[in-house]
Amino acid sequence: MNSKMLSAFLLGAGLMVCACGGKETGGGGVPAAGTVTVSEESISCTSAETTTYISVNASDSWESYSNDDWISVDPSYSKSSSGTVTVVIAENSKSASRSGSVVVKCGSTRKSIPVTQAGIITDADIEAPEGYTLVWHDEFESGTVPNKSNWYYETGNGSNGWGNNELQYYVNPSTPEGFDCASIANGILTITCMKEGGTVYSIRMNTTESWTYGYFEARMKLPSGKGTWPAFWMMPKNFSTWPGDGEIDIMEEVGYDPNNVHSTIHCNKYNNSGTSIESARKKVSTAQTEFHTYALEWTADYMKFFVDGAAILTYKNDGTGYDAWPFYTPFYLKLNLAWGGDWGGAQGVDESCLPATFEIDYVRVFQKQ
């Protein structure tokens, strides 16, 4: 090989070495190891569509992805060393749970975040009280607002503030003026009492079905703040007069007396007379911060009220007739969050607590077959 050919060969080899020697690579062209930390070590959710967020801090640009078609992530790539990944988990319409993952990668370093999602709750998954069978339930696992086949709404100011001088204006969440006062996410129904302009808005919703006798249960977390008045209760389907036709208050609480829950019946013979025959209260220290179950067992002979499975009141049919026992006709269930009123506002209201939220995990009805 002559000297000119040798020089050309050495120059070409040198150029090839330079071209193959890209930065941020290790030996053999492997990307250099980066560092990456994420805010979530794992994600677990109900069968409902779920959106969650992962904070990312990396040593350089990073990417995120999932190999599961029911998990989507955004963004898929970021030039910034820090940011947030939005993870959307699609609704699981099957009874079986499923597992997947989200991966965040910086250089050759990968952080895998396991994702588990429960299957939809079926009738067979729900344990009935002894002697009873599940006949109706809403687990709030689908949609963004309550299912209109299960619930309807009372709207407006009502007569005399719904009979109690209440201050709120009730709305239908399916209408533009609903202001998202009833929304479903992650298997939870949230009733929100909020102020827009000079008006306080909230929700008063009723089941489309009614029942005579049964076991009625809801799992709920109560709102906080002076002026709030959440309730889980029942009224007669064929209502004509109050209190003569009866009212069944499974759970009520007022914000100025936090965590003291009440169960009460109303009829002609007993109506706000304050006796232990018709009403009881129980201190539940975490009623506003944790979920608890509130229930009623209603038979032809008695009504028994429960908090977390413990009976707090038993009202018996004394056999004297309608004035003491109008409770033999169909009643429907009600959920509402009032603001102020004769009881809720007895010590004034504190608007700094708004918006206030009343969270319901499920509502279930069981009957003897």
Lookup result for tokens 């690579």: 25
Pairing of strands 199-202, 169-170: parallel
Closest by Cα among 136, 139, 51, 150 to 102: 51
Residues 284, 320: Cα–Cα separation, whole Å: 34
Residues 329, 55: Cα–Cα separation, whole Å: 55
Q: Within a 10 A sphere around the Cβ of 163, how many other Cβ atoms?
A: 11
Lookup result for tokens 């004035």: 323
What CA–CA distances, in Å, run from 17 to 7, 14, 22, 344, 354? 16, 5, 10, 80, 67
Q: Write out the two tokens for 185.
A: 């996410």
Residues 87, 40: Cα–Cα separation, whole Å: 11
Q: Would you say 261 and 267 are in contact if contact means Cβ atoms under 8 Å apart?
A: no
Q: Would you say 202 and 181 are in contact if contact means Cβ atoms under 8 Å apart?
A: yes
Q: Write out the two tokens for 170.
A: 């009730």
Residues 244, 323: Cα–Cα separation, whole Å: 7
What CA–CA distances, in Å, run from 198 to 35, 252, 351? 51, 26, 11
Q: Is 132 exposed, middle or buried (CB count within 10 Å of its CB: 0-12, 13-18, 19+)?
A: middle
Q: Would you say 45 and 67 are in contact if contact means Cβ atoms under 8 Å apart?
A: no
Task: Kindly give, in sequence order, each residue whose CB lies less than 8 Å from that of residue 265, ignoring residues fewer than 6 positions away.
Answer: 246, 247, 248, 249, 278, 279, 303, 315, 327
Residues forming the active site:
247, 252
